[in-house]
Amino acid sequence: MTSGTWTEAGERDLSRDTLKAVLDNRLAAVRIRNFATPRECEAFAKAAKAGNMKYYSVGKKIGYIGLAQYEYRWNTPKENYFRDVATAKADLAPVIARAGWDPIARLIERLQAVSDRPVGIAHEEGLGDYYAGIVRSASQGVDLHADYAPFNSPAYKVKDIDAQLGWNFFAEGLLSGGQTTVHNAPWTPAVAPGEIPKSYDLPREVVAGARSFTYEPTPGDVVIFNARNPHEIAGGTALPGRDRISIGSFIGRMPDGSLVMWS
């Protein structure tokens, strides 16, 4: 799955049909407008900035709160990831508490309302729940990358998905810039036995000639797109004391049609 060609290089509101379309890679994006009120956005952004923000070891400065399974792909026992889930949850908990509302729980509720299969946090038998919901501060942008668990995480249960979405709720935006561009070129790397392919800072050749769609990170909205398509975030200009503050995770479709979330 996830190899379909967009029939619409645009965005639609969330519904049963549009959720299936973006999972099947026939629609570029789904937007949930007014997912949060201006007051909720302000509260979440303030809580995020007060949280335990760390930074990825990549060229552009990207702050985060939470845990990325991506960081555990190479030569690391699965047990280490699930051990660290508890710490990541402890870092996120005060952000949610200070904000006074939970974007992850609200998103699950919205998805469940348009899905006839269960929606919830991914679970690894014998090890526990995955972590879902990374807060990010990314005003400098994010390089071209793709996300697809069958290639990224072949030793984990989430490898069984047949489609992978990314969702982000935007709490605070930039004065200019910060747009996300998604390229309709489903990531299909050459995979050598026992190796995990590079998925970040991809060469431009992987998207050469592909249709693309660029969306605005409008505060208060959630945007969902097919994360197997290579995507990138432009840098931007922030007002003093403001940043591109978001929270999001992946959504995968399991063989039984259920939707599972992880970061």
Phi and psi of 197, rounded to 5°?
A: -70, 150
CA separation for the pair 56, 36 (Å, rounded): 27
Q: How far apart are CA 260 and CA 129, in angstroms?
A: 10
Q: Which of 54-63, 71-80, 121-130 has the lowest mean pLDDT?
A: 54-63
pLDDT reported for residue 1: 43
Predicted confidence at residue 62, as pLDDT, reads: 80
Strand pairing report for 163-172 and 212-215: unpaired
**Residue 160 phi, psi (nearest 5):** -80, -5
> What stretch of H or E contains 98?
helix 78-99
Phi, psi of 206 (to 5 degrees): -70, -20
Go through the domains of the chain in sequence order and give each one's CATH number: 8-262 (2.60.120.620)
Query: Residue 48: what are its φ and ψ, rounded to 5°?
Result: -65, -40
Mean per-residue pLDDT for 19-47?
Answer: 98
Mean pLDDT value of segment 221-248: 92
pLDDT digits 0-9 by tens, 107-156: 999 999 999 999 999 999 999 999 999 999 877 888 999 999 999 999 99
Tokens, residue 114: 């348009």
Q: Residue 168 pairs with which residues in a beta bridge?
A: 223, 248
- pTM recorded for the entire structure: 0.94
Question: 221 or 138, which is more confident?
Answer: 221
Residues found in the chain? 263
**Residue 241: pLDDT band with limits 50, 70, 90:** confident
The token pair at 108 is 């699950």
Residue tagged 């995020």 (tokens): 48
* Phi and psi at residue 162, to the nearest 5°: -115, 0
Write out the two tokens for 5: 């060609």
d(CA 151, CA 229): 13
